Amino acid sequence: MKHILSITDFSRDELLQIIEKARDIKSSPITYCDAARGSIIATLFFEPSTRTRLSFESAALRLGANVLGFADAKTTSTKKGETLEDTIKIVNGYADYIVMRHFETGAAARAAAVSHVPIVNAGDGSGEHPTQALLDIFTIAEKIPLNNLIIAFVGDLKYGRTAHSLSQGLAHFNPKFYFISPSSLRMPEEILTKLKNQGISCQELETWDEIARGVQVLYMTRVQEERFQDKAEYARLKNAYVLNKATAALFKDDCLFMHPLPRVGEINPEIDNDQRAIYFKQAHNGVWVRMALFLALDGERRGLI
Annotated binding site for L-aspartate: 80, 161, 222
- Within 125-245, strands assigned E span 150-154, 176-180, 201-205, 217-220
**Given 26, 51, 263, 276, which residue is catalytic?**
51
Among residues 42 and 212, whose Cβ is nearest to ligand CP? 42
CB of 162 to ligand CP, least distance (A): 6
Whether 301 is catalytic is: no
Task: Provide the terminal-to-terminal Cα distance of the chain, rounded to the nearest Å.
Answer: 11
Site for ligand CP in 103-132 (CB under 6 A): 123, 129, 132
Residue closest to 91 by CA, chosen among 111, 107, 109: 111
User: Out of 262, 280, 300, 302, which residue is the one contacting ligand CP (CB under 6 A)?
Assistant: 262
- Binding positions: 51-52, 80, 101, 129, 132, 161, 222, 261-262
Residue 224 per-residue DSSP state:
-
Among residues 39 and 285, whose Cβ is nearest to ligand CP? 285
CA distance 188 to 91: 33
Greatest C-alpha distance within the chain: 55
User: Out of 6, 39, 43, 52, which residue is the one contacting ligand CP (CB under 6 A)?
Assistant: 52
Kindly state whether residue 58 participates in binding ligand CP, applying the rule CB under 6 A: no
CB of 96 to ligand CP, least distance (A): 22
Q: Which residues contact 149 (CB under 8 A, 6 or more apart)?
A: 140, 170, 173, 175, 176, 216, 217
**Given 101, 102, 259, 290, which residue is catalytic?**
101
Q: Supply the residues annotated as catalytic.
A: 51-52, 80, 101, 129
